[in-house]
Chain A
Amino acid sequence: MESLTFRHATTKALPGAAPHAITGVVASGNLEILLERVLPPDACEVAVETPIAGYGAVWAAVVADFVARVQPGGLRISINDGGARPDTVSLRLLQGARLMER
C-alpha cells in the first residue's frame, strides 16, 4: 500500500452544512471518498491509500486540479483506492464535494 497526503490552501470555504459525506465503493477500478468538514476554512487535506504504487505525480495533479476548481476549504478528504483511473478519481471528488454542499 502507498500512502499519499496532499495539503492545499484554499481561497474560500466550501459552502454547505453537511458535516461529512461518503461516495463510491472500494472495488476494482473504483474508490471510496470520505469528506469531513473538520479543517480551517482556508485549508484542504487529501489523504490517499492505494494498492497501486508509483502514481504519486498523477494523484498530485488530479488533487491539485480538483482543489483549483472547487476550492474545498475546510475539508479533510480520505480516499481508499481500488485502482481507479484519474478520470474516475476526478468524478468522485466532484460528487463528494457536491454532497457536502447540501
Chain B
Amino acid sequence: MPASTDPDAVLSGGDEAGPPPPARATARTGMSWYEASARQRVAALCDAGTFAEFLGPTERRTSPHLPLFDLPRAFDDGIVVGRARLDGKPVLVAAQEGRFMGGAFGEVHGAKLIGLLRAALQVRPAAVLILFDTGGVRLQEANAGETAIAEAMRAIAALRAAGVPVIGLVGGRAGAYGGGGLIAGTCARLAVSESGRISVSGPEVIETNRGAEEFDSRDRALVWRTMGGKHRRLIGGADAFCDDTAAGFRAAALDLIARAPAFDLATLEAEQARLAARIARFGDCRDAAEIWARLGVNDPDAVPAMEAAAFAETVARVEEAHHDAR
C-alpha cells in the first residue's frame, strides 16, 4: 500500500503509475480468461491503461517463508493489487495468479488483499473486484494463510456494511477453493464462467479423505457438475454466468456492481433461510443432475453440453438462480 493514507492518493494517481498501457486492448479483451495470467486479466478487464499497481514486482515484497522450503518465490507473491477505472468509475482490483503455487494464500499474498480491502473502506471506490484463482491456503505458510482468509472475510463484511460492493470473478484454472471459496462466499456478488469452479474442499481433498468411491477427482465431468460454473449459477451460488473472456467478465462485473444487495439483517436472515431450504430440498441428492431436475430443469443431462444462449434460457426459468439474498 502507498504510505499515504490520503484517500485521493490511493484512487487518483501519484507516483505509483506502472509501465505504459498495453496496445491492442481490443484483442486482449477477447482472449481466454482461463488461459490468461493475472496481469493480462487485470489489463483487459479494466479501462485501457488505467491500472496502477500497489506493491508491484519491483518492490520485491516476496514470501519470507518459501526459501526455508527451498521453493522459488514470485516478485508479487502471486497476487496483483491496485486501482483502476471500470467504465470510468474508480475501482480497486485484486487478481490472483493461479499458476504460481496454485494461487494459494501465503502471508504476503494475503496481506496484499487485506490491505487493499481495508484501503477501500477509506477511499470508497465504486466497487472492489477480486479475480479469484486459488486452491486456498499455501501449506508452507498455513498459519499466516488461514489468518489472512479470516481477516479478508472480516474486511469484506466491513466494506459491504459500508455500502461498497465487493464482486468476485471466478474463471481461472485453479478455481476458488479452500479459503478462497470462503472469501468468494463473502462477496456481494459472484460472476463465474463455465470453466470456473467454486467450493471449499477440492476434488483431491475429498478423494483423499473419503475415497474415490465417494468422489473420483479424475472424473472431470463429475468435478464440473459438482463445483463448476453452470451448477453454481443454477443453484444461485453465483449471480452471473459469463463467457470465458475479459469482455464477458467486464460486462458481468458492471452489471453486478449495479445490483449488489444491501448488507443488513434482513439480507442475512434471507440468506440463512435460503441455505436451510437448500439442504432440506436437495440434501439427499447423490448427483448435481438430480438437483437440476428438482430445480425444474427439463433435461438435466443436457446441461453440461449446453451452449451459452440455451443455458441462459434455462437459468431464466429457475427461480433459485435469482434469489437476491447473499
Which residues of the partner chain B approach A19 to less than 8 Å between Cβ atoms?
19
**A48 CB, nearest partner CB in chain B, Å:** 10
Interface flag for A64 (CB, 8 Å): no
Starting from the known contacts A30-B99, A34-B57, 15 additional A-B residue pairs (CB-CB under 8 Å) come to A18-B20, A19-B19, A20-B18, A20-B56, A21-B19, A22-B57, A22-B75, A25-B37, A26-B100, A78-B75, A80-B73, A80-B75, A81-B72, A82-B72, A99-B19
Contact B72 A26 (CB under 8 A): yes
- The B3-25 residues at the A interface (CB cut-off 8 A) are 18-20
Contact status A36-B74, CB under 8 Å? no
Interchain CA distance A78-B20 in the complex, whole Å: 20
Query: A102 near B: Cβ within 8 Å?
Result: yes
A49/B97 contact (C-beta < 8 A), A20-B58, A22-B39 known: no
The reply on B70 being an interface residue by CB < 8 A is: yes
Q: Are the CB atoms of B19 and A20 closer together than 8 Å?
A: yes
Q: Given A17, A27, A36, A51, which contacts B100 in the complex, CB threshold below 8 Å?
A: A27
Contact assessment for B72 and A49 in the assembled complex, using a CB-CB cutoff below 8 Å? yes
| Docked pose: A39 CA to B57 CA in angstroms | 18
Inter-subunit contact B72/A1 (CB<8 Å): yes
Tell whether B266 is near chain A: CB-to-CB under 8 Å: no
Residue with the highest number of chain B CB atoms closer than 10 Å, among A17, A25, A30, A80: A25
Give the distance in Å from the alpha carbon of A20 to the alpha carbon of B67 in the complex: 25
Q: List A contacts of B56 (CB < 8 A).
A: 20
Asked if B71 CB lies within 8 Å of chain A CBs, one says: yes
Q: Which of B36-85 contact A (CB under 8 A)?
A: 37, 39, 56-58, 67, 70-76
Closest chain A CB from B278 CB (angstroms): 37
Closest Cβ of chain B to A8, distance in Å, is 21
Measured in the bound complex, the distance between the Cα atoms of B100 and A32 in whole Å is: 10
Give the residues in chain B near A17, CB-CB below 8 Å.
20
Spell out B's residues near A (CB within 8 Å).
18-20, 37, 39, 56-58, 67, 70-76, 97, 99-100
Q: Can you show 18 pairs from A to B with CB atoms below 8 A apart?
A: A1-B67, A1-B72, A18-B19, A20-B56, A20-B58, A22-B57, A22-B76, A25-B97, A25-B100, A26-B72, A27-B100, A30-B99, A32-B57, A34-B58, A34-B75, A51-B70, A78-B75, A99-B19
Q: How many residues of chain A have a CB within 8 Å of chain B?
A: 23
- A: residues with CB less than 8 A from B are 1, 17-22, 25-27, 30, 32, 34, 36, 49-51, 78, 80-82, 99, 102
Q: Is the CB of A102 within 8 A of B74?
A: no
How many Å lie between the Cα of A22 and that of B59 in the bound state?
12
Residue of A nearest to B23 (CB): A102
A20: nearest residue on chain B (CB-CB)? B58
* Contact partners of A78 in chain B: CB under 8 A: 75
Give, as a whole number of angstroms, the nearest-CB distance from B152 to chain A. 23
Smallest CB gap from A24: residue in B: B37
Q: Write out the residue numbers on chain B whose beta carbons fall within 8 Å of the beta carbon of A51.
A: 70-72
* Given known contacts A20-B58, A34-B58, A27 and B75 CB-to-CB distance under 8 angstroms: no
In the complex, what residues of B have CB within 8 A of residue A27's CB?
Answer: 99-100
Q: How far is the CA of A1 from the CA of B66 in the complex (A)?
A: 10
Considering the complex, give the chain B residue whose CB is closest to the CB of A82.
B72
